[in-house]
Every structure is written in C-alpha cells, then in structure tokens.
Chain A
Amino acid sequence: MGATTVVLAGVGGQGTILAGDVLAKVAVAEGHEVKLSEVHGMAQRGGSVDTVVRFGEEVFSPVIDRGMADHLIAFEIIEGARTLPYLRPGGRLVVNRRMVAPLPVLIGDLPAPVDLEPALIAEGAVLLDAEALACEAGSPRSANVVLLGAASYGLPFAEATWTSVIEKRVPPKTVEANLRAFALGRRACAEGVCEL
C-alpha cells in the first residue's frame, strides 16, 4: 500500500503545526512509517501555511504535488479553496468556516471571495465551525484540536491513541479542554455534519 497523505492548510498562527505534530505522532504510535513537512520562518507571519503528514509502510517524499492528498483539513476557508487542487479526486475535504481576510482584502485592494462555501460543498466538503466548538469545549484557542478531531474520524487510528498523544503534547493545564475539543470535532463528523 502506498502512503496516505493528509494536508493541513491554514494561516500562520492558527496552530496547524501542533495539529500536524499530533497527527504524525499518532501515526507513529500505530506503527506506521511517517514523514511530516512544515514551513517555518517568514510565512508564519500571517501567510499561508501548509503542513503535510504522510504515513504508510514506506514514505519517500515529505512534500506532495497537486492531486496527491487523500485528506485535506482546512483551518481557514480561503486556504481550503487555495489548496483544493492538492486533494485527489475522491479525497476527503473538511473545512473550517472561518475566514481570515488576507492583507489585500483587509485594506480593500481586493474583494473578499464570495460563495466559497457552495463551491467547496460542490467539491464534497464537510463544513464545520471550529471556533464555536472550541468555545463550547472551554478554550477558544483549541480550534485546531477541534479540526484534528474532525480529521480523526476519517483516519484509521484508535481514539485512545489520539487521546494519549494529545495528553502528552498540549500544556498540562489545557489537557481537559483540548480533549473536549477533540471529542467535539470528532463527534461533529460522526453525527453527520461531516460525512465520508
């Protein structure tokens, strides 16, 4: 079997790196060969950031081309739309509804994109409000873990593995909120908001 590829697409500062790290560690814990690729530096100042996690029996390239991702988890809707061509036909698409306006939109040079939701739904997207669920979990900053929970529903790993990796990876004081966030994201999918 070839490698399975998950792309986490977002905006610098949204916590895609932590989410990618958790996902990679879960795959390791379940005995897979794993590669994770992320970009540090300038892009982290509010630019587009993609984290790629690949796992399977044998993984070569840590980065991918268009059409190679099996799962695309977008932490922000414009980034979801931008990264869409990386998702293979038939791949799984989970998109957070939140829009973070990029600079040209903030300053009025370009219009904010419209109708992204229907365009993404037409591509099979499952939409989610990760910030609202994070709030419900008790920590607005755990939106990335909500999205991880949503992603987890479609990945072949045991829930207990996720839980134990999250417990080790997040600051001790935030463990409970993060586990709640994860469960809410996962349940949102299981209950049909997020279909396979």
Chain B
Amino acid sequence: MSRTLLSGNEAVARGAWEAGVAVGVGYPGTPSTEVLESLVRYDSVRCEWAPNEKVAAEVAGGVSLGGRRTLVTMKHVGLNVAADVLYTQAYTGVTGGLVYLVADDPGMHSSQNEQDTRNHAAAAHVPLLEPSDSQEALEYVISAFRISEAYDVPVIVRMTTRISHAKTLVEVGERSEMVGSSYASHPPKFVMMPGNARLRRIDLESRMTALQAYAETASENRVEMRDASLGIVTSGIAYQYVREALPDASVLKIGLVNPLPDRLLLDFRSRVERLAVVEELDPYLTLRLKALGVDLVDTGLPTIGELSPMAIAVAFGGEVPATREPIPDLPPRPPLLCPGCPHRGIFHGLAKMRAIVIGDIGCYTLAALPPLKAMDSCVCMGASIGMARGMELVGSADRPVVAVIGDSTFAHSGITGLLHMAYTGSCATVVVLDNRTTAMTGHQGNPVSGVALGGDPAPAVDLEALCGALGAASVRVVDPHDLDATLAVLKHEVAQDHLSVIIAKAPCALIVKEHKDPFAVDEESCTKCGACVRLGCPAISYDENGRAVIDTTLCVGCSQCVQVCRFDAIVQVGPSCDIGGV
C-alpha cells in the first residue's frame, strides 16, 4: 500500500474522516488550524468555524448528544476557553464519540504562553492520547473515537507544534460510515443539576477506573526492549528525539497519557537497570512515577520550551559535536506588520496621541515592537476591553486609554467585554480592527467577515449595529489608511464622555488581490527626516546616505508613507519592474 506525506494536522483530519465523523468544529489557533481546513475538503463531513472554542465545544457536545461522531479543534489556550464545557461533558459522557484535538505550542512559536494540556486531561478526568508522528495521529484519532464511545467520555488528542506541522509518511484507510441511532432523552445522564451531577461524578470515577485497566494493555502504550542498562519513559515528539539521541536505550512509549498504566510502568522499571523520563514541558510522567515510588535518573532536562535530540544526548553524557562558529553581530529578525497593513494606520495615530493602548491578540500585536511601540498590554483573546475598563476605573493621568481588538478577536470574546462597559457606564474608546479576516492564523473567515470555513460566503454580522445595540453611544467607521481622518476621529472620541467604538475597516493587505502601483522616494526632495521609516513598513528603509528608499517589489501602494512625508518626496511610480535592480 502506498503511503502519503501528511502533516500531523492533515493526518488528524484523515483519521477523523475515516472514523466517520459527521461534524468538525473549532476555532483557529496555531498550531491546530489546518485540521479543520483539511477536514472540510472531505465529503460527508460538515465543518464549521465557531466564534470561539467554547461555542465549538458546545456544538460538538450537541452533535454527540444527537448520536453522531464529532471532532472539535483548538490550540492549547483554546481549551481554557472551552474548559467549562469539557469538565462537565466528562460527567455527562457522550452518545456519539466526542474528540477534542488540542495542539500545544512548546517554545511559543506562535502563542502568548506555554501550557501542557496533559494537566487539563488529568484535572478534567478525561483520557488523553498523544501521537508522535502523522501515522499515529491518524490511528490515535480513530482510537479516540472508539474509546470515547466505549468508555462514555470525551477524549483529548494532544498534539504539539512539531507533530502538527511535521509531515511524515502515512498509510491511509477508508471511511467507516457511522449511522446514528434515533434520539432518546436521558435527563439523568445529560441534565447536570446537583442531584444528577453527583451520581455522574461517581460514575465518571468508575469509567476512569475501567480506562486505567484498559491502559495496562492498550496498544498505544508500547515497550521497546533494547539495551536493558537504560530505560526511558517518554511520549509524543520526545519519543522521536530519544530514538535519535539514544538509539540503544529501551523505551516505554506512552501513547495513552491519561490515565497512566501504573503496572506497566512498574514492570518496565523492573526490566531495566536505570530508568529516566524524557518529556517536554511539565513533569507529568515524572510525577506519576515518583508517586509510585520509582527511583529515576535525574536528567536535568528543562521543563521550559522544546527539547531536542542534542539536549537529550548531552543529558545522558553525550558530547557536543564540534560545529561551525556562528557569524557574529547578525541583526535579529522579528516578525513585522506587512507592507500595506491597515493596522499600521491606527497605531500611527495612537502613538501620536501617546495613548495607553490596551491591546489584544492578532497580527496587530506586532505594533508593540519598534518603531511603532504602540501597545501597553496583551494577555489573552478579548482581554483588551475588560482591561481597558479596569484602567479607566483607576484613571490614567493625562493619557487616554484605548482598547484595540481585531475583528475575529472581538467576535471571539470582545462582545461580552463591550457589554460590560456599556452596563457599567464606561466612557472608554474601543477600536475594532476590521481587516475582513482572521489574519494571524492564516486568513480564516469569521462572523464579521462573512466567509465560512472552506471559503463560501456566509452571513456577516452588522458590526456597527451590534456595537450600538450593546450600548456604545457612538460608533464610527474609519479607513485606517487615511491617517489624518483616523487621527481626527480617535482624538474626538477619546475626548467624549460616552462609550465609543471606532471600527477601522480596510482589508488585510494579504487578501487584497489587486494592489495599487508602488511608490518611490524622490532623492532630491528627501530630507532624511525618517518620518516614513518610523511607520515600520518592511518596504521602507534608509539607503547608505541616510535617505529613505522604498523597495518597489514590496510596496503595495497603500500611501500611508506619502501622508507622513512633509516634503512631498514620495511619488507614485509605474508597476514595479520585474525584479531586483530597481
């Protein structure tokens, strides 16, 4: 049978399809996003983006209640949002199989924090499977549906960035169609009020006890005996690193991470001379083994960030091989707002006003970096609005406080914050950056942009009417590329004694198909004042004489730099000549 190269996320989608899922639902978040983007391409599966992970988990809960299999996807922090749903779904259990695909991001490649979802599984009393490559991702998702139905419990499949985004070879199978049975009410199982919940709480414990017995022989937990002088207990991507770094070591590879197979762990301990745990992030396996009284080799491996084959080799006494010397003094390359990004216009204005900018998560968070340096905080999705209300309550001397939030983030968890502001008589100013897409995670549609998962048109919320209905006294729409008009509206609204929302509406530069002609700097007129460079546009830099210069292959003609130039030194030129030597 021929094998296909699939990313971990594509393999999860394939597994879900083969398992006969009826519905896939989730909210984008790196590194989980491609699961649904891939699943939507299969026939016979309905896929939807929800406005946030909690809604997604609830939709999935409904599908399960209705008797069909469903996959719900999110990144690690998304499970915090959906946790309220999951922790009680553990009590109710399922009708159709219910699987959570949760992708962690050790090392924070694209996240605001680092979390270990294994802890959520233990705390919620739900099983968790962790694959170590795409083949296992496919197989474990199928197992997860089976376990979910057999043990009447939602199951988490935990991925990490290196599993989600690595492509490895996969043997794919065919779909098993699952037919749901007709719906029958069962309130003692599904209506979680105290009397019922107490009984389900006890029932959950017995389900987990049964699962623990299953774990002892589950095919997902595998002993690989090699040299018995060293045994390693490991899971997920760490397994691959161990195999690379310590090819002779015996390994107990844990695939079913919650509940853990105590007897298997103790048995493996007895078969090797020394036992060590190699795991990424929290000491989850380590603590269990210690609780079992097992003596472990202290590896000194970090519990922060990603592991690597070399880190493991060195921890076990390997030598660091000679490598080439790094070339010194290389400038770092942080990510940055794209040429023509509409967000730049708002932050330019806010920086001019010396506003305290209570920010949020999305591409626009990059405005915190120099040269714009126009953001004071970013915590979690939706936090900008509530935090701005808090800042308003303690006052901010002479600087205006402005909350700034993206359109997808506003739909995710900003609406309730605005409702709070209206309810409590706030006079704050909230800017919604409506760039018609969820840009940061790769341009997914959302309820504001009116694009469905898969790209079809969908009903779009009327943002102005929504903000007005929530209680904003004034709702203004601005074009953030028009710098003067934007600044004027910002200044006006922060001075008002009422709650204002400013909607900065202009599409993300990466979704605009037809760009305007690029601009260039007229050398004669440039006074080297640097105003255009301070916009932080990747197309603009200084030449060797300190004059501004525009890379016409990057410029998309947004004209923001033209507006900040007081010397009319930036002029439109024809379409960028093909390449390079411009």
Contacts and interface: CB of A to CB of B under 8 A. Distances in A.
Given A11-B333, A40-B30, A66-B323, A135 B167 contact: no
Contact of B326 (A85, A103, A107): A85
Interface in B311-335: 311, 321-327, 329-335
Given A36-B166, A61-B244, A107 B324 contact: no
B221 interface: no
Contacts of A65: 308-311
Contacts of A63: 162, 166, 308-309
Interface in A18-67: 21, 24-25, 28, 33-48, 60-67
A33 B170 CA distance: 11
Contact of B310 (A28, A66, A132): A66
Nearest to A13: B338
Interface stretch (A109-117, A155-163, A180-188): A109-117
B541 A105 contact: yes
A123 B3 CA distance: 38
B533 A108 contact: yes
A155 B516 CA distance: 41
Nearest to B33: A40
B309 A36 contact: no
B5 A34 contact: yes
B533 A42 contact: no
Contacts of B332: 102, 104
Given A37-B165, A38-B165, A106 B334 contact: no
A106 B541 CA distance: 4
A92 to B, nearest CB: 13
Contact of A41 (B244, B337, B441, B537): B441
B109 interface: yes
A49 to B, nearest CB: 9
Nearest to B325: A85
Given A62-B240, A109-B370, A67 B323 contact: yes
Main secondary structure of the interface of B (DSSP, over half): loop
Contacts of A89: 322-324
Interface string A128-142: 010110110000100
Interface residues of B, number: 63
Interface string B162-199: 10011111000000000000000000000000000000
Given A40-B442, A41-B109, A60-B244, A105 B331 contact: yes
B442 A108 contact: no
Contact of A107 (B323, B371, B441, B580): B371
B578 interface: yes
Contacts of B470: none
Contacts of A101: 541
A178 to B, nearest CB: 15
B382 to A, nearest CB: 19
Contact of A43 (B3, B109, B371): B109
Contacts of A82: 326-327, 330, 333
A131 to B, nearest CB: 5
Given A35-B166, A45-B363, A106 B533 contact: yes
A110 B331 contact: yes
Given A42-B110, A84-B324, A119-B327, A61 B309 contact: yes
B30 A42 contact: yes
B578 A140 contact: yes
A102 B151 CA distance: 53
Interface string B139-166: 0000000000000000000000110011
B168 A41 contact: no
Interface string A57-83: 000111111111000000000110110
Contacts of B326: 82, 84-85
Given A84-B324, A89-B324, A135-B579, 9 more contacts: A11-B333, A33-B169, A36-B5, A37-B166, A40-B110, A61-B308, A78-B330, A102-B331, A106-B533
Q: Enumerate the 4 nearest inter-chain pairs by beta-carbon distance, A residue then B residue, closest first.
A: A41-B110, A41-B30, A65-B310, A62-B166
Interface of A: 11-12, 21, 24-25, 28, 33-48, 60-68, 78-79, 81-82, 84-89, 98, 101-113, 116, 119-120, 123, 129, 131-132, 134-135, 140
15 contacts: A24-B167, A38-B166, A41-B30, A45-B363, A60-B243, A62-B237, A87-B324, A103-B333, A104-B331, A105-B331, A106-B536, A107-B541, A123-B324, A131-B580, A140-B553
